[in-house]
Every structure is written in C-alpha cells, then in structure tokens.
Structure 1
C-alpha cells in the first residue's frame, strides 16, 4: 500500500527531498510549495503537487518541512494537528521560544518529530565515529566549517538569501550541523563560551563567523564556523591518548594516526542523495513505529542544538561562559 508523504517548501533542499522520496518504493511524494501559484509549474514538470489544504486531504502519513527557518514551528504545528509524523529541516527553530509548546502538542497528538541533521548519515562521519574508540580517551576536538558565502550560489546576491537575515540566518543556525554532531558524538555541553563576528564585511545582518568552546565527556570541544574563508573546509579532528583521527568532508577521507604505528587513510564514497535517502528511510521506518536508528536526530536533539546557539549568542554579549538553558522551561 502506498504512503503519501508531503514536502512543504520547494526550494533547493525541498526539491532534493522530493527527488529522494520519489526513489523509495511505496512512497508517493507530494510537493507543497509555499506559493500556491508554483503548483502548476511543478505539475508541468511531472511532479505530484498540491496546495496545503488539498495535500492534507490526501491522508498523508508523514511530512518533511523544508520551508524557511522562521516558519518551521508553525508548519510543524499544522502537520502535527493533521496527524502527520514530521521531519523538520535544521535548525528546528530560530530560537528555543515556542519549542516547549510544540513538544506538548507532539505528545498530545502522539506523533513523532525528528530533525533533518543529515550529516549524521554521512559515511565519513559514521566511519569517524566507528574508529573513535581506537585512539583512547579523547581530550581535545577541533571542528571547522568554513566557506565563502558569496560563492555559494553563483549569480545570486548573497545579501538577499536567508543566510543574510539576522532573525533566520547566520553561521550558528546555518551551520548547526557541527553543533549537532559534536553533541551527538562527544556528549552535550552544560555551558558554552563564544565570540561572534558581525557580517558587516559581507553586507549581511547576521553573524559571519562564530568561535565556540565547551567541555563535554572529558574533552575540550572547539568549533570554528564562518562565511569568510575562500577555500572551503569542513573537517573534524579528535585527539586521544593513543592517537588522533580526522574526518575531512571536502577530501572525503578519514585518517587515523596512532602513536605506535603509521597513519591509516580511508577513502569515503559519498553521494548526497544517498545520505539523504538513508535519513528518509530511517524517518519513515520510525513513523511506522519501527525503532529509530540513533543517527536520526530527535526533537530533543534539535531543540538542544538550538539552545546551544542561544547560549552562544548570550555568551558573545556577556563575554563569559553561559549555561545551555533547558528549552522545556521556556
């Protein structure tokens, strides 16, 4: 029996979700554009598309929210009220405001909400996580995600994109993957020390760079996020008692250097659609009451990552370490 899955939002990430879902057996993906006028265009391209009310009348079992960040809570709320399990794109929300109420609705409706932190399904990150035990207790982790915002979308003025908006963009929200997987692999921080660099040099209202530091699981975690670096890099190195391990997402390698032996370098075969397909399959299995792989970010995982961002902004203003507040009390 076919299952209808809605995708709210038909920007680049929404279209990729639709492509991935169309390759899954028994799934009928339905595009729900924010602008109803786009329905005809999508249908002309051979896709199944409908305005939201018509799409909800198709009795969907699940939905993916890929709209602008500022709409995530409202769109997720609408879908929960219509009985859908929901996978919401990261970040779950611009701030933790309103997340406690959304959690109560999820419990009341007995539906699941997960967050699309798809890097958890990256084969390189999975290999890194699998190899981590070989280097012994970890004392330091360095994470970098750096690129040049004006180069992201050739032909598009970066100052007009969501990344430039103070209330929705900025590196903390945009590059929240790094905050999420650091917490997933090494444990959650109780407090965060951060500095933020304004986006003036890029002509944007959001922050252009962030430096974060925290303690978790006996290790110091240091994260650099920026829109300023011409040569893109995305990598993580963990230093342990017996050696070190590095995942390089640009080179698609994982290297392990042990003090007692030479380095081992693993090449990673990576395809973005395959990564997102694994996430979609895991989400749909969880929606069908199967046990979810811990790689699938839960509502609590997504809310915690947003709480870390809130704490980082507070820390940047106070110039001291700030606690990660409990989002459930807001």
Structure 2
C-alpha cells in the first residue's frame, strides 16, 4: 500500500524526516501544505496551498512548523482523523497544550511527539536496566552553541531566538525532560530557574536549570545555548558507582569498574528512522504510541514549571 504523508512545515527538521521516510518507504508520496504561493519548490514534494486541497487518503501527517503554530495546525488536522507525528514540543504555552490535550478528538487518533532521543541506544539501555539500579542522584546536562545549529542562517532570525515563537533552551532542549519522564516518570516537586546569561542577544532564555524531587532521589537538568563545545550527558550516582552516559559518544562508562559497560554507535539520522519505523508499526497495528499527546502535555508542564497532578 502506497504511503502518502502530509507535512505542515518544510524546514530543516521536516527535510530530515523526509530522508528517514524515504529510506524506509522509497515510493512514499510526500505532500506539503505551504504557507505562501511564494514558497520555494522542493523537488519530489507535492505542494498544496489550502486545506481544501489536502488528499483524503493520507497515511499520516507531520506537524513540523514553528512551535507557536502547532495548536492551529493540530486542530486543523484533527478533522481528517489520521495519525499525527508532531515535532517537539507539543506547544509553546501550557494554555495551547491544555487546549490540544482536552480536545475530545485527540484521544481518538494515534499520535507521537517526536522526541527521538527515546530511540537512542543508551536511553534504550537505561530503559531496560535503570529500574534495577539503586540511583540516588541523576544529573542530565545538555549544552551547545546556538549559532552553530544552523550555520547558514542568522540565528537571531530563527524561532529559537524568540520566546513568542516557541524559542528558548527549555523548549528547544526538552529532550532531557522527556527522556527522564520516559525512564523514571514524573517528579513529586519541580524547581526551575531560567535566565539569559550569555551575549547571544536573544529574548528567549539561553539557560535553564531544573531540580526535580523524586521518592528515590534528586534529579537535576542543566541546559544552555552558549556552550562552544557540545555536551549531552547523564550522570547516574548510586551508593556504589557513578555511571557516565555520553549521548554524543553513544557510550556508558562505569567509574567503579573503570571501563565502558555499553556502547553502540549509530548515525544521527538513524534515530529519526527508528522512531518513524516504530510509528509506522503503531499505525499498522492500530495501537497507541509511547509518547502520545497526553504524555507530551505532562512533560511540557514540567518544562514550563507546573507540577503534574
């Protein structure tokens, strides 16, 4: 059966999704709902310019436009009653996310929020083993230099630099809060602090720090836009060991044993491919995904510092 997919938003992340899709289903037919007749033509993409032109036999849709437009786009697509793959985060405000989550139609469709670090080999390893590890403290950290994210563009013109468009390191790097929710669930208490510390000259926060209280211990999350050398690590402290998970090197190191206990190197785009394969399998089997709209809403409440009930 021919897969037909609609993209709402055709930026850099959408193009990576398309590469992943074509590697799985080479004959997949791609449509894009364009925002303007002046939008650049993209080879192999069927451009449409009005909701009335959307085919009625789509396999699913991908919401990959700027975060502040997600609410409008998701609600628009609910009337088609098709599965939705939604780029993270779900929305840029809790009000929008609450409105999406409370819509009766969202519970009737298959949805997956694209937090592809859930498919990272090290996160999958922790998913299998963390419940057997008597951790007392976890420290997650992610920092990288915003101007290096899209070197061919002026970073100050990108949504990341503008809070009103869904920018800010807390929303952009919500992956950390998401994989922690996936691994250990939601915290009992949330404390957070967000600021502009660097000379980047943006109006969205370039620094965010969370302290999350769990029955088992304490979790901290530190995020920034201004670290010149990228870092993405998880430190898991127990009474007997310290595990260093390096998500950029795809490795887990035990300080007590003094050796690597796990390593599996994959290509960057493989995470999107694994996520998409999983999503297609959920659609095929008509089953809920691991990260539907309702779960993404809970993660966003932590991100924007409202305690989950």
TM-score (norm 1): 0.85
1:98 maps to what in 2?
A: 96
SS at match of 1:202: coil
- Contact 1:137–1:240 at 8 Å: present in 2 too? yes
SS at match of 2:229: strand
Is residue 275 of structure 2 the alignment partner of residue 279 of structure 1? yes
Structure 1 alignment gaps of length 5 or more: 312-322
2:79 maps to what in 1?
A: 81
- What's the offset of the Cα at 1:161? 1.0
Cα distance in 1, alignment partners of residues 160 and 5 from structure 2: 28
TM-score (norm 2): 0.90
- Contact 2:162–2:202 at 8 Å: present in 1 too? yes
- Contact 2:126–2:183 at 8 Å: present in 1 too? no
- What's the offset of the Cα at 1:133? 4.7
**Aligned residues between the structures:** 307
- Contact 1:106–1:112 at 8 Å: present in 2 too? no
Is residue 101 of structure 2 the alignment partner of residue 118 of structure 1? no
2:24 maps to what in 1?
A: 24
Cα distance in 1, alignment partners of residues 215 and 28 from structure 2: 40
Tell me how large the CA RMSD over aligned residues is.
Answer: 2.3
Structure 2 alignment gaps of length 5 or more: none
1:163 maps to what in 2?
A: 160
1:33 maps to what in 2?
A: 34
2:299 maps to what in 1?
A: 305
Cα distance in 2, alignment partners of residues 221 and 205 from structure 1: 27
1:6 maps to what in 2?
A: 6
- The one of 131, 137, 142 aligned to 1:140: 137
Is residue 191 of structure 2 the alignment partner of residue 197 of structure 1? no
SS at match of 2:248: coil
Cα distance in 2, alignment partners of residues 106 and 88 from structure 1: 18
Q: Relative to structure 2, which stretch is displaced further, 239-248 or 77-86?
A: 239-248
Relative distance call for 1:308 and 1:108 in structure 2 (3 A) is closer
- What's the offset of the Cα at 1:131? 3.9
Cα distance in 2, alignment partners of residues 93 and 157 from structure 1: 24
